Amino acid sequence: MNRTEFPGGKWDNVLYAQNYPSFFVKIYHILTLYNSMIKNRLYPLILFPLISACGGAISDSQNFVPNKVPVFTRVSSLLWKGGSLYEPLSSDEKTSLISNMTFLLKIEAADPENEGISYSYSSEQGTFTPQEVTASGTSAYFVTDEDMSAGEAVSITVTATDSVGDSSDYNLELGTVKPVPVLSASLSSTSSVTTGTFTSAGGSLNIYLSADCDGQYQTRIVTAASAASPGMDYSNFVWNYTKGDTAQIAVSSSSEKCKITGAGMYYVWVIFVDAIGQEAARCMTITAI
């Protein structure tokens, strides 16, 4: 069996062309050729393929263009006023948000690479209906929570995400929760009077109530002085109040709203609760003779 001589002037005693597949022989040729180049210091021929490959990678990195996130082009919120009527919040409404207010949100965004966009909503002050996707964006309804605090900021975060997974956020500030109600209660329609006397047998006295917001009111009668309101008793009657009105509460032995029978000193609490459950109260000291 003949041996095969390879470049370098040496006889190979291991590989025999007749006994091994040509693939291995070619590999041996390549390795032997590189060995010969190294011995003869032909480094440029060795480095050229490596430099060419690295050069291609460097060129690719220099030409890399980062993905651009979606850009919001429209963000609007309208307050539902009933029926099919939706209007922007007035300046007063923006500082008097209450629970169960419904807003219609309309959002649009554009992607610089014309990639598809998906939207999501989040808020700590309310809940959303399932969004409706339109040709240009999305729309959804937002309803404010019942558990909110006076002065709390109500905001919505909208996220637009492209098909690559990159996203941008838009923070929509709706306004702030209304402050604690301001209640006025007096035994006089023209001045602040909190003490009064009436004849329990056939006599009467009036309490005049007004507040700076809609709500409900009730009177509670106690016989011991207290600095703290007894709170609203929803097992008994409550009456609705509309902002701007003056409610008149009759105090008598037959009154539906404030009934006092028998002589003595009574402490009449006028309790008012607004639309988010915030309470204000005033105490009248009434002597029945």
- Strands 5-6 and 10-11 turn out to be antiparallel
Residue 49: pLDDT band by 50, 70, 90 thresholds?
A: low
Q: How far is CA 122 from the centre of its chain?
A: 4
- SS3 of the chain: helix, strand, coil, percent, to 5: 15, 45, 40
Helix spans in 90-207 (H): 91-94
Query: 95-136 pLDDT, tens per residue?
Result: 999 999 999 999 999 999 999 999 999 999 999 999 999 888
User: What is the value of pTM for the model shown?
Assistant: 0.65
Contact, 262 vs 271, CB < 8 A?
no
Top-level class of domain 71-176 = mainly beta
Alpha carbon dihedral 36, 42, 44, 50, in 10-degree steps, equals 20
Q: Give yes or no for residue 222 having a pLDDT over 70.
A: yes
Q: Which of 229, 86, 111, 242 is nearest to 167 (CA)?
A: 111
Residues in the chain: 289
Q: Report which of 128, 83, 92, 90 is spatially closest to residue 107, judged by C-alpha positions.
A: 128
Give the strands of the sheet with 247-252, arranged side by side: 183-186, 204-211, 247-252, 258-259
Distances (CA, A) of 91 to 86, 159, 177, 191, 205: 16, 27, 13, 31, 39
Average pLDDT over the chain reads 85
Dihedral sign, Cα of residue 91, residue 272, residue 142, residue 165: positive
Residue 145: pLDDT over 80:
yes
Measured between alpha carbons, how far is 128 from 109 in angstroms, rounded to an integer? 19
> Residue 139: helix, strand or coil by DSSP?
strand
pLDDT of residue 55: 57
CATH 1.10.101.10 fits 183-288, yes or no: no
Check whether 137 has a pLDDT greater than 50. Answer: yes
Which residue stretches of the chain are H helix? 22-39, 43-62, 91-94
**Alpha-carbon separation of residue 168 from 113, 210, 247 (angstroms):** 14, 47, 51
φ and ψ at 44, to 5 degrees?
A: -55, -35
Predicted confidence (pLDDT) per residue in 151-205, tens digit: 999 999 999 999 999 999 999 999 999 999 999 999 999 989 999 998 888 888 9
Rg of the chain taking only CA atoms, in angstroms:
42
| Domain ranges within the chain, ordered by starting residue | 5-62, 71-176, 183-288
More confident residue, 253 or 31: 253
Categorize the per-residue pLDDT at 147 as very low, low, confident or very high, splitting at 50, 70 and 90: confident
Say what the pLDDT of residue 15 is. 44
Q: What's the pLDDT band for 12 if we cut at 50, 70, 90? A: very low
Q: Which amino acid is residue 242, in one-letter code? A: T
